[in-house]
Amino acid sequence: MQDRPRRLRRTPALRALTREVHLHPSQFIHPIFVHERDTVTDIATMPGVQRHSIESAVQQAREALALGIPSVILFGIPDFKDAVGTQAYAEEGIIQRATRAIKASVPGINVIADTCLCEYTDHGHCGPLCEVPGQSGADAWTVDNDPSLDLLARTAVSQARAGADVIAPSAMMDGQVAAIRAALDAAGFTHVPVMSYAVKYASAYYGPFRDAAGSTPSVGNRATYQMDPAGGYREALREARLDAEQGADTLMVKPALAYLDVLNLLKREFDLPVVAYNVSGEYSLIKAAAAAGFMDERRTVLETLTGFRRAGADAIITYHAMDAARWIAEDARA
């Protein structure tokens, strides 16, 4: 008897019947950039993405929930920046105010607070800087790890106090999950989960985000604390295991597209939900190719997001979230 796999691909109904991986808006997390202005401004390097006012961010959250997207993640862009990122943990900081506004108007949505300092420091790094003895050039400056832990913990508590449902530390400081978990528990937020950016690479794919958030480092680079793209599985497992042991409730891989093998590794090795971050550069590549007529945007986006799910992602942070949710709804009605 000849085996004929094509029998199950013959019609749309048969393909749907035998499909192993399913994509649904409930798996998406919609990112929102929030700035101090009353206006909405376009981000040139991320077509279709804007910097939002608090009022507009509330509307974004409302639209996301209406499309079946249960979660948003907030990135703040303050007017004032300094060497230690004080606006990250200010009680009236941009993320704190935006969180309160969204939770008051759209109580059914999950607000995830990105917990980092890079958007709030005047040098663009994820904590206060210190000199590295004996080094020169880009490696002469790095983030001072342990003082940064105190600031990240303060930021997490202020975000939880404002109503954030999930704290998402992204600074890649050693011990950040333990410091944040301890601070949240001590402040009475034992119920607030930590979504750790456990495996985050020093990637070229972040370029458009740094333009959007104004967080390009003015000195040095992030290679001394973000992971080496060629580091392999040992480093990824070590980082993820440390965060899991320190109390992380979910683990993230960032970026996702070039690291699907790492995403799948974490899914197999850890009994925790795994999040894929479909980052700004991945988004902008598809947007640029589609605008040039080189690719079908809809098909490419849905195929890419399905790839994250197939690799093991339980949830996906993606700037395509709103469009993808609409396309999935249209396909369901067809």
Active site residues: 200, 254
Q: Give the helix, strand, coil percentages of the chain, each rounded to 5.
A: 45, 20, 35
Cβ partners under 8 Å of residue 14, min gap 6: 7, 8
Are the C-beta atoms of 268 and 246 separated by less than 8 Å? no
Quick one: tokens of 318? 């993606």
Distance CA 253, CA 62 (A): 27
Instruction: Report the candidate in 46, 72, 68, 78 with the shortest Cα–Cα distance to residue 60.
Output: 72
> Nearest to residue 172, comparing CAs of 111, 245, 233, 254?
254
Cis omega (within 30 of 0) for bond into 217 = no
Q: Is the separation of the CB atoms in 315 and 275 below 8 Å?
A: yes
Cα 316 vs. chain centroid, distance in angstroms? 8
Burial class (CB in 10 A: 0-12, 13-18, 19+), 70: middle
